[in-house]
Amino acid sequence: MPSAWPGGSVRGLRARGGVGVDLAWQDAVLTSARLTFTDPGPHTLTVPTGGRLLRVTDSEGRPVAVDSTPLPGGFVRAAFTAHGTSVHHVRPRRR
């Protein structure tokens, strides 16, 4: 997140593949994201989490299998599969 925006939120963004994105962050670290997928299949995210791994749940709150990899600079790369048209919630795991 830009240093001029230490905290905030945004709704209605579009990512590659037509993914709808709503984000919230505090202290330049992701606090939550809502992702709306129109196509099933594998997806990969790279987000600033302060080094915390990600927890992904479906719209019913059920955990989704995710392969999280810590990256330099407090980022995490997470890979998971979306099934059909779906909404997923992404949050850093609690320490």
**Burial annotation 64-82 (CB, 10 A radius, 16+ → b, else e):** bebebeeeeeebbebebeb
* Residue 47, pLDDT score: 84
Q: What is the pLDDT along the chain (95 residues), one digit of tens a residue?
A: 667 888 999 999 998 888 899 999 988 888 899 999 988 889 898 888 887 888 889 888 889 999 988 899 888 899 999 887 788 888 888 75
| Secondary structure class of 56 (helix, strand, coil) | strand
Contact 6, 26 (CB under 8 A): yes
